[in-house]
Amino acid sequence: MRTPLIAGNWKMNGSRALLEAFAETFTAEALPEGVKAALIVPFPYLDAAQRTLETTPLALGAQTLNVEVSGAHTGEVSAPMLNEFGVRYVLVGHSERRALYGDSDEMILGRVNTALGHDLTPILCVGETLEEREADRTMTVVLAQVDAVFDALDAAARERVVIAYEPVWAIGTGRTASPEQAQEVMAGIRAHLSRHGARLGESLVLLYGGSMNAANAAELLAKPDIDGGLVGGASLKTDDFLTICQSAG
Ligand code: PEP
């Protein structure tokens, strides 16, 4: 039985005031039974978020981490630092980091290993561009991104990674993959990873990301291989994010 997870990625947005608003909206009873939710906030807000969200059911996430644990890496943040702020999840390989900040498959694998070594759950983001989809290369691209990490992990580590399928053309564009399009790719990821063992195929938590919102979440989350969501824009609105979380119940 897989536990649904809704993770809100604030990207380079948000404020202390928004954290307060989330604390007011997400009372202890806000989430349906058995649904997990997390807010993935920019680094400077982790300290305030840890305190402000303490009484809520929201877990804390970070948007990236360095592969090293300390040293001469100006501007970077390490896994032990994230541990100090109670961070539970960390995004790895988000398409914006792949495209804008040079995160390669090799770097992504390093970050996943560092996260796992420090008791953090990596959310590995994969997805095709519009050009790749139109060239009928979606599964080739997505499975290559998955294999670059999963082929290098041992069985125990594989079971600790969450995968977010995020078609690049759907992120921040208002253009959502149809539930059928998302389901097709996500079923393909699950089937592909089952070759590492039926148990992994059954237990793997798969999130959909790409313009998920309060209006389309229920339909997407009703698909059998969509266990949750990675939500960007709609995670900046407390009521919308709550509606999405409630759709997962
Ligand atoms: C994201 O940032 O991972 C994302 C899916 O963004 P949006 O929901 O805004 O498309």
pLDDT in tens, 164-220: 999 999 998 989 899 999 999 999 999 999 999 999 999 999 999 999 999 999 999
Domain count of the chain? 1
Query: Model pTM?
Result: 0.97
- What is the rounded CA–CA span in Å between residue 93 and residue 98? 6
Pocket of ligand 1 from Cβ distances under 6 Å: 9, 11, 166, 171-172, 209-212, 230-233
Under the banding of pLDDT at 50, 70 and 90, the label for residue 146 is very high
Which of 212, 213, 220 has the most ligand 1 atoms within 8 A of CB, as the residue to mutate? 212
pLDDT of residue 188: 97
Q: With 90 as the cut, is the pLDDT of residue 28 above it?
A: no
**Among 96, 128, 132, 166, which one carries the catalytic annotation?**
166
Contact indicator for 11, 234 with CB cutoff of 8 Å: no
3-state secondary structure of 20: helix
- Tens of pLDDT, residues 44-64: 999 999 999 999 999 999 999
Contact assessment for residue 229 and residue 208, using Cβ atoms and an 8 Å cutoff:
yes
Phi and psi based region of residue 134 (left: phi greater than 0; alpha: psi -120 to 50; beta: remaining): alpha
Q: To the nearest whole percent, how much of the chain has pLDDT over 70? A: 100
Helix (H) or strand (E) holding 46: helix 46-52
Taking CA atoms, 83 is separated from 23, 37, 53, 119, in Å, by 21, 18, 16, 8
> Which tokens belong to 73?
């890496």
Query: Which CATH number covers residue 68?
Result: 3.20.20.70
Q: Which ligand 1 atom is at minimum distance from the Cα of 212?
A: 8
**Nearest atom (ligand 1) to Cα of 11:** 2
Q: What is the average pLDDT value for the chain, to the nearest integer?
A: 97
pLDDT of the residue at 1:
78
Grade residue 76 by pLDDT with cuts at 50, 70 and 90: very high
Q: Residue 168: phi, psi to the nearest 5?
A: -60, -35
Calculated CA dihedral for residues 102, 126, 203, 84, nearest 10 degrees? 30
- Mean pLDDT (whole number) for 85-110: 97
Range of the domain at 25: 5-247
The Cα–Cα gap between 21 and 122 comes to 26
Is the pLDDT assigned to residue 135 strictly greater than 90? yes
Which residue owns the Cα nearest ligand 1 atom 1?
232
Nearest-angstrom CA–CA distance, 167 and 130:
8
